Structure 1
Amino acid sequence: MRKLLWNLSLVVIIVALGGCSSSSKTSGSPEAKDVGYQYQIVEYGGLSDKRAVLDKDNVKRIEDIIADVKWDKTVSVDKGSKEDFVFWFIDQDNKEGQKYKVWFNETGSADVQDGKQVWGVLEGKDGETLSSIFKLNDQK
């Protein structure tokens, strides 16, 4: 009887621990269906019409990139220029999520500001990848 209780307890603990884990890198938010975006039109000084990234692989790549941003709530940056891109995730109910503003740098990195005015940095290839996803999508 003790052995049966011990095995049952072990199974309950394993199931409970497995149910607590999360495989989503976007802090428990539902997976995005699409990514909406606008880009800066230099000649006009404003943003383009709204567009969307519909390719699921690219949407997932953007989610992963944002999950890897190094956010710093203590930094306040005054950008002298307007953002290069603004984007947001669109959920299964077609609701727009938090907007992100992005400034791409010549070094391949990017500065990111979320809707709460928190700044972050995309280093290495993440900035280049994000830029290429939007630029390639815009050529379609």
Structure 2
Amino acid sequence: MGMISEFKEFISRGNVVDLAVGVVIGAAFGKIVTALVDGIVMPVVGFISGGVSVSDWKYVLRPAQLDAAGKEVAAEVALKYGLFIQTAIDFLLIALVIFVVLKAYNKVRTPAPAPATPEDVLLLREIRDSLKKPA
């Protein structure tokens, strides 16, 4: 079997196509939730906390050093924890929405029908039941 025919067989399997669709939809969904967090949730949190953007929250370890002309000589050293908080909220919202969607999907999904009992098993059950009957 040639490499091209093996590749066609690999690609034509449902799992690969399903995985590709899931990755593309997941990436698009991540962008939607990120836009929600950046455009709606974080401005509200920033407004409540005094008008400063959450992504700008930081703890300055060493302030920037300026020369006599006011030009920056050494950049500030800061722990930017606000960006971490914003990314964590983004992740939690994505995880929450995925959880809710999967929960709804599992509720709607119909269970697979039970497989039919093989004929030989049915025959063996009949023999067993007939042997149990008193003569």
Q: Which TM bucket (shorter chain)?
A: under 0.3
Greater helix content: 2
**Structure of greater relative contact order (alpha carbons < 8 Å, 6+ residues apart):** 1
Larger Rg: 2
